[in-house]
């Protein structure tokens, strides 16, 4: 084990974790990515003897081709929007910490699925002599399917990596004043020139069964939405909350965002803005599911205008929030 006296000058490692992304918008890349993602028991907790034959014998034969077409709609010349967004955040946060933190930090990206993976990031820390690690999952609301799964991967990797000996993990920041302030400022900026008839606050869904088993995610989503609406000065009739990205035959959290957009269009609401506070970085689920498919669903049912309001990404308030979270978590490490 590394001598701490000799490591006083070692930086504190900051792992920015997210779900992940395929390497390319192709069926082969999606097959690899989905195989890893859907093999995580945090995501699908059916017995392996039941789930694995269906996953490899049926789902992975057909789903990757459809998913590849969806990813192709959001892919850029720079690559995956999630990865490019995470890279920008890492670079800006590193610069800000270097300039203002008063102590040394080393920031790395670790994707739960795909690359760059969590093990690779932790290996980079270990090679640099880092022994204090702060894990910062970019999921404001805690769920076992996201933050919990990141915890699993981190602890699995730590078995084989030294000198990482002190680890702190941020559980959630769904009600943090800097997070809510960043969201509020971003939305108000979009509303300087036009305000919608209704604001839809959409979060990624999880199966209802997970929530009944004790996952705090839906309660934290509701708290974020309610606090955000209050900060924006909205009346209850001016906003609605929903859950998106349903998958599989189980019942998921409700109301479903897609059904909500249908109902709003049919009820005569002309313009809606959709914000997704659970996504720190834009990705397929925001850019395409909301920005493309959600817009079609709303307008095809009578609505006129749907604007997707981008995630915080690498904007100034988001970087300031992340610096605040890092310094709060690391304040006892002198």
pLDDT (average), residues 66-81: 97
140 in Cβ contact with 278 (< 8 Å):
yes
Q: What is the pLDDT of residue 64?
A: 98
pLDDT for the residue numbered 3: 46
pLDDT at position 160: 80
Confidence at residue 332, expressed as pLDDT on a 0 to 100 scale:
84
Burial classification of residue 39, based on how many CB atoms lie within 10 Å of its CB (0-12 exposed, 13-18 middle, 19 or more buried): middle
Residue environment code for 69-84, b if the CB has 16+ CB neighbours within 10 A, otherwise e: ebbeebbeeeebbbbb
DSSP type of residue 10? P
Give 22-63 as a DSSP string.
-SSSSHHHHHHHHHHHTT-TTT--S-HHHHHHHIIIIIHHHH
Say whether pLDDT at 174 is over 70.
yes
Q: What is the pLDDT of residues 91-142, one digit of tens each?
A: 999 999 999 878 899 999 999 999 999 999 999 999 999 999 999 999 999 9
pLDDT over 60 (residue 6): no
Beta bridge partners of 169: 135
Place of tokens 């939305």: 187
Residue 304: which of 312, 313, 295 has the closest Cα? 295
Please tell me the predicted confidence (pLDDT) of residue 4.
Answer: 46
Q: Where do the domains of the chain lie? A: 27-74, 177-309
Other CB atoms closer than 10 Å to residue 282's CB: what's the count?
A: 22
Is the model's pLDDT at 163 over the cut of 90? no
Alpha-carbon gap, residue 70 to 247, rounded angstroms: 15
Q: Do 201 and 240 contact (CB within 8 A), yes or no?
A: yes
Q: What is the pLDDT of residues 262-285, one digit of tens each?
A: 999 999 999 999 999 999 999 999
Does the pLDDT at position 164 exceed 90?
no
Rounded CA separation 59/57 (Å): 7
Q: Among the residues of 38-146, which ranges form H helices?
A: 48-54, 60-74, 81-100, 118-127
Yes or no: say if 92 and 314 are a contact pair by the CB < 8 Å rule.
yes
CATH of region 177-309: 3.40.50.1400
């Amino acid at each position: 084990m590394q001598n701490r006296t000799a490591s006083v000058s070692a930086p504190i490692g900051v792992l920015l974790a997210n779900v992940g992304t395929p390497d390319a918008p192709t069926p082969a890349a999606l097959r690899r990515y989905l195989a890893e993602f859907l093999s995580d028991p945090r995501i699908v907790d059916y017995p392996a003897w039941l789930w694995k034959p269906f996953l490899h014998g049926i789902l992975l034969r057909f789903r990757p081709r459809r998913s590849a077409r969806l990813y192709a709609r959001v892919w850029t010349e720079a690559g995956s929007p999630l990865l490019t967004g995470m890279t920008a955040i890492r670079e800006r946060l590193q610069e800000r910490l270097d300039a203002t933190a008063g102590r040394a930090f080393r920031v790395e990206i670790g994707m739960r699925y795909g690359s760059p993976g969590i093990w690779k990031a932790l290996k980079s820390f270990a090679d640099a002599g880092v022994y204090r690690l702060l894990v910062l999952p970019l999921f404001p609301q805690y769920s076992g399917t996201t933050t919990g799964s990141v915890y699993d991967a981190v602890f699995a990797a730590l078995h084989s990596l030294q000198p990482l000996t002190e680890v702190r993990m941020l559980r959630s920041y769904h009600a943090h004043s800097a997070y809510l302030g960043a969201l509020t400022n971003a939305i108000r900026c979009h509303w300087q020139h036009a305000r919608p008839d209704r604001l839809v606050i959409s979060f990624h869904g999880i199966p209802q069964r997970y929530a009944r088993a004790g996952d705090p995610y839906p309660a934290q989503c509701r708290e974020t939405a309610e606090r955000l609406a209050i900060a924006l000065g909205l009346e209850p009739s001016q906003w609605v909350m929903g859950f998106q990205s349903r998958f599989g035959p189980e019942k998921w959290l409700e109301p479903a965002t897609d059904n909500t957009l249908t109902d709003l269009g049919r009820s005569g609401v002309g313009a809606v803005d959709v914000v997704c506070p659970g996504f720190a970085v834009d990705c397929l689920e925001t850019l395409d599911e909301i920005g493309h498919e959600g817009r079609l669903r709303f307008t095809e049912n009578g609505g006129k205008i749907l604007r997707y309001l981008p995630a915080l990404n690498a904007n100034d308030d988001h970087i300031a929030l992340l610096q605040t979270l890092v310094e709060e978590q690391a304040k006892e490490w002198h």
